[in-house]
């Protein structure tokens, strides 16, 4: 079973490390003239970049889960919450939102995204192929690193619900983070029965 990371390990990347990651990711972009970002968690309802179009999309071979210890945004080192991660698992499917960014988007415009998603380097920024109404396009997304100290894979439903119910961080309660994500997914016609079940379990704990 995954365990919360020791407090002494919870250190952010330096500004130079984050800038290097952003620069190298953009250098690998299949097409700089059409930048897209695939959101599968809070980005769906709270993007931190300019958007000219958003579309529901499918990413094959990846699974969304609460698989990252949140020790700052939605929890603390002593009472961690959980954040959404995307993990490559053959045969799975993740539905989300693809955002198309303005053509003149620069690295500076994307730095707020890097500060949010690459705060401690728990993700790998990857270019993936997503499907929009049967057409495949390249999009940037953030895939969890299973060997990172914040990886929280392997938790049971009951364990996840317990952490989500108890945790709160700089940006509010972990429950609100999950509930807002599920609410936006329903608005967009995106179904995820596992998340519905988890949210119901959290609400049962809160009602006790």
Which residues are catalytically annotated?
117
User: Which positions ≥6 away from 154 have C-beta within 8 Å?
Assistant: 1, 2
What CA dihedral angle connects 118, 119, 123 and 129, to 10 degrees?
Answer: -20
- Are 84 and 42 a contacting pair, CB within 8 Å? yes
- Vertex 39: Cα angle to 78 and 187 (nearest 5): 100
What is the Cα–Cα distance from 41 to 59, expressed in whole angstroms?
13
Spell out a b/e string for 57-89, using b for 16 or more CB atoms within 10 Å of the CB, else e. bbbeebbbbbbbbbbbbbbbeeebbbbbbbbee
Residue whose token pair is 């989500």 = 164
Helix (H) or strand (E) holding 110, with range, is: helix 107-117
Query: Distance between the two ends of the chain, CA-based, in angstroms?
Result: 26
Residue 98 token pair: 């693809």
Greatest Cα pair distance in the chain = 52
């Amino acid at each position: 079973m995954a365990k919360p990371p020791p407090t002494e390990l919870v250190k952010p990347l330096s500004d130079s490390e984050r800038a290097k990651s952003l620069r190298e990711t953009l250098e690998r972009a299949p097409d700089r003239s059409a930048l897209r970002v695939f959101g599968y968690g809070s980005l769906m309802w709270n993007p931190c970049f300019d958007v000219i179009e958003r579309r529901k999309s499918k990413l094959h071979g990846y699974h969304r889960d609460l698989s990252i210890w949140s020790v700052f945004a939605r929890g603390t080192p002593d009472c961690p919450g959980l954040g959404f991660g995307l993990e490559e698992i053959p045969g799975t499917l993740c539905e989300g939102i693809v955002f198309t960014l303005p053509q003149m988007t620069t690295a500076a415009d994307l730095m707020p995204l890097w500060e949010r998603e690459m705060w401690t380097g728990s993700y790998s920024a990857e270019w993936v192929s997503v499907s929009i109404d049967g057409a495949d396009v390249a999009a940037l997304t953030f895939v969890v690193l299973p060997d990172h100290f914040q990886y929280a894979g392997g938790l049971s439903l009951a364990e996840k619900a317990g952490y989500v119910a108890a945790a709160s961080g700089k940006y509010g309660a972990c429950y609100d983070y999950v509930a807002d994500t599920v609410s936006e997914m329903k608005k967009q016609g995106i179904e995820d029965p596992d998340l519905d079940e988890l949210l119901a379990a959290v609400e049962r704990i809160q009602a006790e």
